[in-house]
Chains A and B, each alone.
Chain A
């Protein structure tokens, strides 16, 4: 199965429930937009980084979270410097960094299965609106089941097309892939029906 981004640990954040953590994320995201003040937001960012340390993560993990957005943040800072001043630039980049880093921290400290359990709990009140939590979890499981199957079919098709000299055409890959997996989906639906799911 596909491994989640969760990193094992035993900190307060690791032990906390997914629901409250997600609420905290929403609160922090809203908060940093309500206070357009760079020293405050920088303090929030510093606290988020401290939370990483408290949750048992080393600097390598922290830098790995910052690196993918570093060039974008640099551009945003430069744009603000050009349009306004460096304080505005600092506000923009510390705000983005604080939100993204906190959100990533939630993902790093929450198991996919716990996340799923809270999702199912959150969906339960929506049942009268036609949302069926069992069908949602069936769909989620099926995606995880389909990913390796589709990847295998894709490489089979690529080999077949390569043998015909069509290996540069994405279309020659994607159309047969869709048709074959749609046929598979029909069979899977039959099999689910045959196993008396309703």
Chain B
């Protein structure tokens, strides 16, 4: 996928099909198009998350169909559902186990803010536990909304200074 941001350059003077670009652009290009989700399916939103993986909405068009339940293999945690206080430490622990770089999508009202569950047992927004990159509204969000969130996250990732972070890490 070549976009304006990819900054591809082709130098005819160098032989052998060499493409010149910025390291950031290449790294981010790779990252955006193979963003493996960690499906943190907690409640109702997980059903829509599965629908996104199904044939009709087909998240694999965006390179994110490889749902990995192993946090080590995944890049983007999709928190789909109500996070309770009992579950919150586990969510954080899984987030900690994910290898950097990592991103978080808070899918649905519950994950974003506690939603309709204003009660003693519910964490009022997963951003109290993990940093969130994209919030998706809806209870549950439609599959298209999740796809939109993924595209938004990809746009955000494309702007990251990936090379500098890699060198300084």
A binds B: no
